[in-house]
Amino acid sequence: MRGSLGGPRLLLRKLREVMAEPISPQERLDKIVEQIATNVVAEVCSVYVLRDDNVLELTATVGLKAEAVHQTSLKVGEGLVGLIASEARCLNLPNAQSHPAFAYKPETGEEIFNAFLGVPILRAGRMLGVLVVQNKSHRTYQEDEVEILQTTAMIIAEMIAAGGLEPLLKPGSALDVKRPMKLDGVGLGEGVGLGHVVLHEPRIVVSALIADDVPREAGRLEAAIEKLRISVDDLLSRSELDQVGEHRDVLEAYRMFAYDRGWVRKMEEAVKNGLTAEAAVEKVQSDTRARMLRQTDPYLRERLHDFDALANRLIRELMGRPHGPVSGELPRDAVIVARNMGAAELFDYDRDRIKGLVLEEGAPTSHISIVARSMNIPVVGQIAGVVSLVELGDSIIVDGELGTVHLRPALDVEAAFAEKVRFRARKQAQYRRLKSRPSITRDGHHVQILLNSGLFLDLPHLEESGASGIGLFRTELQFMVATSFPRIGEQEALYRRVLESAGGKPVTFRSLDIGGDKVLPYAQSFEEEENPAMGWRAIRIGLDRPGLLRIQVRALLKAAAGRELRLMFPMVADVSEYERAQALVEREKNFLKRLGYELPETIKLGVMIEVPSLLFELDELFAKVHFASVGSNDLFQFAFASDRGNTRLSGRYDPMSLPFLRMLKLIQDKAAEHHVPLTLCGELSGRPVEAMVLAALGYRSLSMSSSSVGPVKSMLLELDVGKLRARLLPRLEPGRPAEDLRAMVRAFAEEQGVPIQP
């Protein structure tokens, strides 16, 4: 009893007519199940819709008792229908009642039926409901009948996603697709943002589902697949990718999927059954995604991103849409949602409209997190699958302090967070009132507070926050947002504007720190590396490609004419590297002097201490440099051999642990011994608890993001450094029993009334 030849196409044509009729949602759904039952010669056809309470409600049926509609329901995992929903897979049984998961519902009258075929109703891999057909006879449904059900389930999924079926549910119920969700992740940037979802790589909405001309759609699909394969092959054949590495591994995964006959055959079959080429790709993508999400094998789950990216690329190819992030005007309260993104990509958006950032990946010291914090954008990362859970325009709340995201929040939750935003605004106003007060501790120690910066738009924060200057100006950000290497004139103009805007306050420039995870898209000489964080980057590039460093040094010298120039070099691993960089600066200074250019009034050169090998040359180093800065982010990751971009390791080691605090104390003690000014400009300095400890270790200069200045200064004004130092330093001595130093410091703050909450 199989459907007639051409049945899927005939059914889709009839369903299109039903979708166009001016009838109620219930009437439309009733007609759909009638058409499906007729097409596959089934005595029963039923639709179950997933509600927000994790219950599947019978929403329409032909063949079961009419009074069961909206009365019969099953929890996810209960009965055959619940089993399909929990596993997102088809179930084809000749004798359903003999299956151990069968659950008898007497109000339906289904005890007389034996054959059972059920398919999940999916959209973007998300479970929305279950579509079922049944017969009295014992039979196994054929492949074409399974395909018919899967294809029509896609159309029902669009009805559910559009919200058209919500009024049909029992009073007080809502669709699961509209369910409020609380998602737990990791806070990567403090603050609270309320707004609406903007997808960094927006899903293309496939509106044309049913084909008018099947042969034409088959041809379009074939041509698009061929173009896709050629583009992937072309990327893999490029000389700069002719090596091993993570980027090539991703492309190899793309090629594996692009040439997979099973994937292509499923799409071709969907087109033959009457779907458009785009709808066929989306259907197979959704089915595959649902299965892969439920895999326990971590390798298969990781390959899901590769498969999704390729399927989305194919849909864009078919629809003539460009690849890349969202274009056009943002809403005024945009919350960007992405799997991950580069720091430079954030600058493509209008900063004034971004209220938050949500990432599936990300780590506290990843560069996107650092840049977002410098822009005072709340960030939450490590929320698996969030891109699939959101829809464009969904209301969303980002809590960067607690590391949570509230998707489609209830009104009372939204009101509570709106009050939290107002409270933070009042607190920030209190911090602004402190901006003119010197940051002197209760026992008289002055701690200089500086800003980390990297763009001209950061400069207004210098005055607003009351910081004493810029302790770290990341010059590479100008290179990362450009489409080609900035010319010497462009660099000089930026550096001069920075110095002028600082109004006489000190500015410390860091020479170009590219490489690692900051590869410039227009720099063809950069190669993929097995371990880029410890590879060809920062001063290593500057010394190996001296033309690049010379141009930057020349621009800095010209920009600082008549002023003080403070320049430090990153990733210095031994004193000889600093000496070579110092000699390069001297040559450039003499060159400009011969040409008659005005030079800086004073030139002070320093290094960033972030490679552990330098700790064994501190005496030699401090005898040569004018100043130094501790780059605690890299120093910490190298000290613990813990990649700062690896989300599995991001919380494994504590920078307030004994070995790292001993390391920081050693650096500070040596700097004091040689009377060399020392600043700490990593993420530690911007957190009140860690800043307390740094002050106790002897650090008197801290550089941080503008949003951290207020909380840190508020803490310092109430801190008795001597008391904390007396408690902390003995615990760093050898032979002491192991202790949770973070807990000890927090207890001290509570006891002494020191504010440590941002």
Question: Do strands 507-510 and 470-474 pair parallel, antiparallel, or not at all (unpaired)?
Answer: parallel
Q: Which positions ≥6 away from 151 have C-beta within 8 Å?
A: 8, 12, 270, 273, 274, 275, 283
- With b meaning 16 or more CB within 10 Å and e meaning fewer, what string describes 80-103? bbbbbbbbbebbbbeebeeeebee
> One-letter amino acid identity for 640?
F
Pick the closest to residue 325 from 205, 204, 200, 483 (CA basis): 200
Query: Given phi > 0 = left and psi -120 to 50 = alpha, else beta, which region is 41?
Result: left
The catalytic residues are 367, 681
What number of other Cβ atoms are within 10 A of residue 419's Cβ? Answer: 10
CA distance 103 to 351: 54
Long-range contacts of residues 552-556, Cβ cutoff 8 Å, at least 24 apart: 552/475, 552/491, 552/511, 552/512, 553/511, 553/584, 553/585, 553/588, 554/488, 554/588, 554/591, 554/592, 555/488, 555/489, 555/491, 555/492, 555/495, 556/491, 556/492, 556/495, 556/509
Phi, psi of 407 (to 5 degrees): -100, 130
CA separation, residue 746 to residues 136, 692, 752 (Å): 70, 10, 10
* Sequential DSSP letters for 48-113: EEEBTTSEEEEEEEESS-GGGTTT-EEETTSHHHHHHHHHT--EEES-GGGSTT----GGGTGGG-
Tokens at residue 705, please? 């993001």
CA atoms within 13 Å, Cβ hemisphere of 341? 26
CA distance 469 to 506: 5
CA distance 240 to 138: 60
Give, as one character, the DSSP assignment of residue 652: T
Is residue 393 exposed (0-12), middle (13-18) or buried (19+ Cβ within 10 Å)? Answer: exposed
Terminal CA-CA length for the chain:
69
> One-letter amino acid identity for 188?
L
CA distance 564 to 557: 10
Place of tokens 């403070």: 566
Question: Do strands 126-135 and 44-50 pair parallel, antiparallel, or not at all (unpaired)?
Answer: antiparallel
> One-letter amino acid identity for 479?
F
Q: For residue 742, list its beta bridge partners.
A: none
CA distance 249 to 268: 27
Three-class secondary structure of residue 131 per DSSP: strand
